[in-house]
Structure 1
Amino acid sequence: MAETYVSGVAGRYATALFELAREAGAIDAVKADLDRFSALIAESDDLKRLVRSPVFSSEEQERAVSAVLAKVGIGGLAGNFFKTVAANRRLFAIEAIIRGFEALAAVERGEVVAEVTVAQPLSDAHAATLKAALDQMTGKSVQLAVTVDPSLLGGLKVKIGSRLVDASLKTKLNSIRTAMKEVR
């Protein structure tokens, strides 16, 4: 496997979980559970608050996470991992941990993850066209991680590894504004 590094607290946790999942032959199962938990965070303001707020004690976080996991049926390696993260008061980093795990899993599968930020949701046809163009550009299978940011106004930003292509209308307007200030 090519060396891939994810840094910081999230990187250490993501790498540890990835190594455990690889040893158990459960990378896909763990990724599915991580995706489900990530979707729960996106859907629930209460869960977001629990994950991000330093007000809750580790016992409260662990109890709440255990209840959520039991309700949605996440157990095994991922379930134990979430409980450990809560017990260690690292829930604030769970979203970065999930992204780190996904990056490691993508490298294991020979894929590249492109972080795409758009002003409006992409249609299936546009997503397929963008994926095909990025596949051709990188020579690898590219998985799109799309987020919507209406402040871009239009266009998109694509980040693959350390390369960023910013073709957003917001950036273009800011460039024009800067150029106009320099003309005066």
Structure 2
Amino acid sequence: MSNRLTARRYAKALLQIGDQQGNVPQLQEELDTVAAAVAANGDLARLVASPLVLPTKKAEVFEAILASAKVSPTLRHFFRVVAEAGRLNLLADIHRTFADQVDERAGIVEAKVASAQPLSEAQTRALVASLTARTGKTIRLTWHQDPALLGGVKVQVGSTVLDASLQGQLRQLKAQLLSA
């Protein structure tokens, strides 16, 4: 079974537990904190990723760290199960998948925008409004600069790519000229 599928199953289980207990936002906040702490601490990241440390030892160490960080018993138990199953190395994937599932439930979708120059506030608002109308969902915009685009924007929402860049238009023109 792929790591991505395994992470999805753990994230789904945590979401179901959160639903039963009515504390999904708290679990998400704690999971964000734990994932950030692991990413920021080299020793902790090595412990999580190391195949040489026994799963039971990882579970004990991780439990102690989470208890000292005052993480809820629910999340501590969840991570004990994950660690004892030898899947603690999937922490980043579980975190990402859990956040995606919570967003999906809330009707939030991420739009990745690339442009040659930063977008103005008015352009950003117009783009969000257009994408909201097109998808019917709440848009969370992430932007990065791509000087290769020359001008315009390239937007990815899920698996759909909308290319309104000058580079994309030149590519389309070339294809039309070559096919004529």
TM-score normalised by L of structure 2: 0.69
Q: Deviations over 1:55-107 (max 9, x none)?
A: 21112211221122122211222221112111111011111111111111112
Residue 139 of structure 1 pairs with residue 140 of structure 2: no
1:48 and 1:21, CA in 2 relative to 1: closer, same or farther beyond 3 A?
same
Cα distance in 2 between the residues matched to 1:164 and 1:32: 30
- Per the alignment, residue 163 of structure 1 pairs with 160
1:107 and 1:55, CA in 2 relative to 1: closer, same or farther beyond 3 A?
same
1:164 and 1:58, CA in 2 relative to 1: closer, same or farther beyond 3 A?
farther
The answer on whether the counterparts of 2:7 and 2:97 sit within 8 Å (CA) in structure 1 is yes
State which of 63, 82, 87 in structure 2 corresponds to 1:85: 82
State which of 88, 93, 97 in structure 1 corresponds to 2:94: 97
Q: CA RMSD in A?
A: 3.6
Q: Matches of residues 27-42 of structure 1 in structure 2 within 5 Å?
A: 27-42=24-39
1:140 and 1:115, CA in 2 relative to 1: closer, same or farther beyond 3 A?
closer
User: Mind listing any 5+ residue stretches in structure 2 that lack a counterpart?
Assistant: 172-180
Residue 106 of structure 1 pairs with residue 111 of structure 2: no
Residue 47 of structure 1 pairs with residue 44 of structure 2: yes
Task: Count matched residues.
Answer: 161
Residue 17 of structure 1 pairs with residue 38 of structure 2: no
Counterpart amino acid of 2:101? L
Counterpart amino acid of 1:24? Q
Q: Deviations over 1:156-176 (max 9, x none)?
A: 9754322346899xx99xx9x
Aligned-partner SS, 2:36:
helix
Cα distance in 2 between the residues matched to 1:79 and 1:104: 20
Cα distance in 2 between the residues matched to 1:68 and 1:49: 14
Aligned-partner SS, 2:140:
strand
Cα distance in 2 between the residues matched to 1:98 and 1:23: 19
Aligned-partner SS, 1:55:
coil
Cα distance in 1 between the residues matched to 2:154 and 2:60: 39
Counterpart amino acid of 1:66? E
Cα distance in 1 between the residues matched to 2:50 and 2:35: 16
TM-score normalised by L of structure 1: 0.68
User: Mind listing any 5+ residue stretches in structure 1 that lack a counterpart?
Assistant: 1-6, 176-184
Cα distance in 2 between the residues matched to 1:147 and 1:45: 28
Counterpart amino acid of 1:104? Q
Q: Matches of residues 120-135 of structure 1 in structure 2 within 5 Å?
A: 129=125, 131=128, 134-135=131-132
Cα distance in 1 between the residues matched to 2:59 and 2:87: 11
- Per the alignment, residue 178 of structure 2 pairs with none
